[in-house]
Amino acid sequence: METDEFQLQQFLPYLLNQAAEASSLEFQQIYKDRYGMLRTEWRVLFHLGLYGRLTASDIGQRARMHKTKISRAVHRLNERRFVDRTRNEDDRRVEYLSLTRQGQAAYNDLRAVARRYDAALMDALDPAEAEVLRRALLKLSEAGPGGFT
Amino acid sequence: METDEFQLQQFLPYLLNQAAEASSLEFQQIYKDRYGMLRTEWRVLFHLGLYGRLTASDIGQRARMHKTKISRAVHRLNERRFVDRTRNEDDRRVEYLSLTRQGQAAYNDLRAVARRYDAALMDALDPAEAEVLRRALLKLSEAGPGGFT
DNA sequence: CTGTAATAGTTGTATTTGTAACTAACAAGC
DNA sequence: GCTTGTTAGTTACAAATACAACTATTACAG
């Protein structure tokens, strides 16, 4: 048995994807069932709930989401009266997005669920471990491997 | 400023997804450019490279991947002569999958890249942190939050 | 002004994915 | 044997995504 054998379970991108998928599954089910939202829509909703009025570009930067995804998510959220769109009259290219009353209610509800969900996930970890995990994930989110290719 | 304000950056599924996406991007580019593979195909390739001959169901269990994804990945990998399919004559429902010489070569190449890539990712973390991260990710991969809904 | 480039956001089309229904082969009860 | 159920894998169709090309508006150089 070679000791330097490559282990798939040790490959960080794989591990991260597995953990991300496993940990998202049940929560995804909740916003889908309750509000018929897709992941992109949920993300837009949460950004607006957290930061208030934003443009599509703002959300794109913060969430690292492509503008076409955002455009379509916003369209659907607006259609279902979760989001208001108001054009900036000083620069008619940009449009401000904000939650409607209904959007705010959905956000409040899902935020509460998310808090409990997060706590339940954390139960699998001890507190020190959880803290290190968060820090590490933030670092990894910043960028990929430094100038790999 | 409320101290119990929900923070999106603290929500584990979100953090995990961000980190997974960021950390997969460049590697994804490599197997796509060099071998025209999709993520599902890469995963099948790696499972066969690591564990040798497997059935589609075996891969599905190990990788937590749906059978239709595997079916399609195997089809394409076979088409491009990366994997061989041989029917089990004792039970003609099952089919054994294994790497061709060409598949083995691709696996060897990508495994080497993955090792270096992983090392580069790890450089952003200190060793103790990396160890905790791996353990935590494995725990989270096992299951979602315990009986949440 | 006018032409060129940049920015915000949208739409079109080809890929990919998810879900359910399907075929084929085996197993087990009667 | 024949029905019923189960398992392995595939296929069909709807939904979602990626990528490129597009419109509309502003900026700015000459």
Q: How far apart are CA B107 and CA B114, in angstroms?
A: 10
Please determine, for residue B148, whether its predicted confidence score (pLDDT) is greater than 80.
Answer: no
Of the listed ranges A2-6, B12-16, B49-53, the least confidently predicted one is A2-6
How confident is the model at residue B108, as a pLDDT? 97
pLDDT band (50, 70, 90) for residue B8: low
Instruction: Give the rounded distance of the alpha carbon of A10 from its chain centre.
Output: 25
Strands ordered across the beta sheet of A95-99: A54-55, A95-99, A83-87
Q: Find the angle CA(A137)-CA(A139)-CA(A145) to the nearest 5 degrees.
A: 105
Average pLDDT over residues B92-111: 97
**Closest chain B residue by Cα to residue A126:** B136
How confident is the model at residue B48, as a pLDDT? 97
**Closest chain A residue by Cα to residue B114:** A11
pLDDT band (50, 70, 90) for residue B145: confident
**Are B18 and A141 in contact (CB < 8 Å)?**
yes
Please determine, for residue B1, whether its predicted confidence score (pLDDT) is greater than 50.
Answer: no
Q: Which two tokens stand for residue B26?
A: 């460049």
* A19 neighbourhood in chain B, CB within 8 Å: 16, 20, 137-138, 140-141
Q: CA at A90, C1' at C4: how many angstroms apart?
A: 23
Whole-number CA gyration radius for chain B: 19
CA of A130: how far to CAs of B15, B95, B132, in Å? 12, 42, 9
Minimum-distance nucleotide, CA of A90 to C1': D26
How many CB contacts within 8 angstroms connect chain A with chain B?
184
How confident is the model at residue A19, as a pLDDT? 96
Q: How far apart are CA A127 and CA B67, in angstroms?
A: 37
Strand C closer than 7 A to residue B64 Cβ: no
* Three-class SS of chain B: CCCCCCCHHHCHHHHHHHHHHHHHHHHHHHHHHHHCCCHHHHHHHHHHHHHCCEEHHHHHHHHCCCHHHHHHHHHHHHHCCCEEEEECCCCCCCEEEEECHHHHHHHHHHHHHHHHHHHHHHCCCCHHHHHHHHHHHHHHHHCCCCCCC
Share above pLDDT 70 across residues of chain B, in percent, rounded to a whole number:
91
Q: Which two tokens stand for residue B21?
A: 């996406």
How confident is the model at residue B147, as a pLDDT? 64
pLDDT tens per residue, chain A (149 residues)? 444 566 767 899 999 999 999 999 999 999 999 999 999 999 999 999 999 999 999 999 999 999 999 999 999 999 999 999 999 999 999 999 999 999 999 999 999 999 999 999 999 899 999 999 999 999 999 866 766 76
- State residue B82 phi and psi, 5-degree precision: -100, -30
How confident is the model at residue A67, as a pLDDT? 97
State how far residue A134 is from chain B, nearest Cα, in angstroms: 7
